[in-house]
Structure 1
Amino acid sequence: MDAKERIETASNFLLQSPPGEINDVLNDVRNIISDDDSLQDGIQSTLREYNLEQFITVDVPGAQHQTLISRAAILSTEEGSKERFLDPRSKTSFLFDHLGLEASDPQPYEPDADSEAFRSALETATSAYLSSHFVEGVAAVFVTPDAPNKFTVQIVSNKYNPNNYWSGRWRSEYAVDLSDSTVVGKIMLNVHYYEQGNVQLNTTHNITIALPAAIVTSAPAAAASKILALIDFEETKYQTSLNDTYSEMGEKTFKALRRALPMTRQKLDWDKVLGYKIGAEISGSKGLSRRHEL
């Protein structure tokens, strides 16, 4: 395998990194490549793709909150590994380094006046939703470029517990289209358990919500609150279905994989297991003695 193939392999590993574990994966692939300069040059685009897809969070320069690194937040691409992103909440743009994961050079940003009232109302409703369901979550609401009646709501919540060998990430994204009276979104869930093993859950659930005319024509604050209530209903329903699925797997699916009875078709008396073992050893010893005599 040549250097280019090793870089491509390393990139594939990085894109599949579980939540909060990309640095661990990167340290492992460094041992495979054994050339930090080539590795850094070769994985810049991979790290960018990972950050954008995973809704990586970053502290906003000059603010007391975090925002998301995502495609909806991109304002412009700079030279090298940096891009300029938007934080609508603070009306600030900033440079983000995909390698160093740092934000810098904050600049004021003037939002579109025709869209800001509804965008701000969606942001307020989303923040209230976060405080109820994702205590450590981060969200952002963006206006779709050149479409003042279209908005993107993005939510991410991370849970890292390396001491107990698990990590997880909940991401959800919704395109709110007032002109079409629809909300189209998806929930992306990643969970990794790795205590004495390696089990991952990667799933995506698509959602489409038709907005009644009464919501679309309401005042921004009322409409935004009702839209988030509909999102809350769909996400709660999906989480409940996941809980039911895994409960059924534990009670039925996994039990069905196990043999109900031994091949003798008789239940094993666990109180006599030690006796069985001793008896087998004695029988084995007698067999050896007879063969020795022969």
Structure 2
Amino acid sequence: MDATERIQAASNFLLQSPPGEINDVLNDIRTIIADDELLQDGIKAALKEYNIEQFTVVDVPEANHQSIISEAARVEAEGLDEERFLDPRSKISFLFDHLSLEASDPKPIEPDARHEEFRSALELASLNYLKAHFKDGVTAIFSPKEGAEHFVVQVVANKYNPTNFWSGRWRSEYTIDLNKKQVAGKVLVNVHYYEQGNVQLATKHTVSFDLPVAVASAPTSAASTKIFALLEEEEGKLQVSFNETYHEMGEKTFKGLRRALPLTRQKLDWDKVMGYKLGAELSGTKSPQPASVS
């Protein structure tokens, strides 16, 4: 396998990294490439794709909160080599290093006055929603970009527990189109259990519903609260489906993977097994041991 093929393989591994484990994967593939400079140059595109798709969170410069790296957050940059992202909450843009996961060079950005009032109302509603449902969640609300007519709501929540061998990530993204009176989006959930094994859950749930006319025609603080109440209802359905699936797996799927009885079709009598063992020891009929060589 030549260097190009190894870099491609390394990139594929990175893109499949479970939540919170990309550094572990990177350290493992470093031994395969055995050339850090080649590795860093070769995986930049994969890291960029991963961070944007996975809603990587970053500490916002000069602010006391985090924001989300995503396609919706990308803004026009002055230089060809620059890539800037927007934090709508602090109204600044910043450079982002996809390898170190650090933001730098913050610059103020003027929001669109036509949409900022409702965007801010959605932001407040989303922060209240996080407090109620996502302890360590991060949210970002984006105004319509040029040529678009919808607001974008993004939420990401990560939970990493390496001491107990599991990690998980919740990502949700919704577009709110007041003109069409519609909300559409998706929820992506990834969970990885790896104690003495390797089990992963990756699921996608699509969401779509119409907005009440009163909400769509009057984009106010009350309307934003109503929208998140509707989102809560949709996400609640997903949680219920998870619980039902887990129950069914415990009652049916996992039991189907186990043999109910041994090949003799009879249950083992463990008391007799212990009796057989003790009897063998007392009678001196234990299995002969190999002779030692002095």
Flag whether TM exceeds 0.5 (same fold): yes
CA offset at residue 59 of structure 1?
0.9
TM-score (norm 1): 0.91
Asked if the contact 1:115/1:149 (under 8 Å) is kept, the reply is no
- Separation in structure 1 between the aligned mates of residue 86 and residue 280 of structure 2, nearest angstrom: 73
- Residues 149-183 of structure 1, C-alpha deviations (whole Å, 9 max, x = no match): 41110000010111111111111000111111111
Cross-structure match for 1:161: 161
One-letter amino acid matched to 1:157: A
Moved more, 247-256 or 162-171: 247-256
Single out whichever of 203-212 and 26-35 deviates more from structure 2.
Answer: 203-212
1:143 partnered with 2:120: no
C-alpha change, 1:219 and 1:179, in structure 2 (3 Å) is: closer
Q: Bigger shift: 253-262 or 207-216?
A: 253-262
- Give the counterpart letter for 2:125 in structure 1: A
Change in 2 beyond 3 A, CA 1:79/1:146 = closer
Q: Which residue of 2 aligns with 1:126?
A: 126
Take 1:152 and 1:54, find their aligned partners in 2: how far apart are those partners?
A: 16
Identity %: 64
Post-superposition offset of 1:47 = 0.3
- Give 2:40's aligned residue: 40
Q: Name the CA distance, whole Å, in 2 between partners of 1:161 and 1:177.
A: 38
Equivalent in the alignment of 1:9: 9
Aligned residue in 2 for 1:175 = 175
1:94 maps to amino acid: F
**Equivalent in the alignment of 1:220:** 220
1:210 is displaced (CA, Å) by 1.2
Counterpart of 2:292 in structure 1 is none
Alignment match, 1:28: 28
Show the 5 A alignment for 1:54-65. Answer: 54-65=54-65
Deviation of residue 34 (structure 1)? 0.4
Q: 1:15 to 1:219 in 2, by over 3 A?
A: closer
Give the match's secondary structure for 1:72.
coil
- Using the alignment, how far apart are the partners of 1:211 and 1:109 within structure 2? 31
Quick one: which amino acid aligns to residue 96 of structure 2?
A: F
Distance 1:219 1:47, change over 3 A: closer
Q: Which residue of 2 aligns with 1:292?
A: none
Q: Secondary structure at the match of 2:189?
A: strand
Structure with a larger share of its residues in helix: 1
Deviation string, structure 1 residues 55-82 (Cα, Å, up to 9, x no partner): 11111111111100000000035544x5
Structure 2 CA distance for partners of 1:287 and 1:272, relative to 1, 3 Å: closer
1:238 aligns with 2:238: yes
Where structure 2 has 5 or more consecutive residues not aligned to the other structure, the ranges are 289-294
Do 2:178 and 2:217's aligned partners in 1 also have CA atoms closer than 8 Å?
Answer: no
- Tell me which amino acid in the other structure corresponds to 1:221: S
**Which whole-Å CA distance do the structure 2 matches of 1:14 and 1:279 have between them?**
57
Change (3 A) 1:71 1:273: same
Q: TM-score, normalised by structure 2?
A: 0.91
Residue 261 of structure 1 deviates from its aligned partner by 2.4
Q: How many residues align?
A: 286
Is the contact between residue 115 and residue 143 of structure 2 (CA under 8 Å) also seen in structure 1? yes
More displaced 10-residue stretch of structure 1: 155-164 or 213-222: 213-222
Give the letter for the 1:35 counterpart.
D
Superposed CA offset, 1:109-136 (max 9, x none): 1111111111111111111100100011
2: distance between equivalents of 1:58 and 1:46? 18
Residue 116 of structure 1 pairs with residue 116 of structure 2 = yes
Distance 2:24 2:259 in 1: 39
Q: Give the partner amino acid of 2:76.
A: S
Q: How far apart in 2 are the matches of 1:189 and 1:199?
A: 14
Shift of residue 281, structure 1, vs aligned partner: 9.6
Query: Cα distance 1:280–1:18, how it changes in 2: closer, same or farther (>3 A)?
Result: farther
Equivalent position SS for 2:76? strand
Match of 1:84 in 2: 84
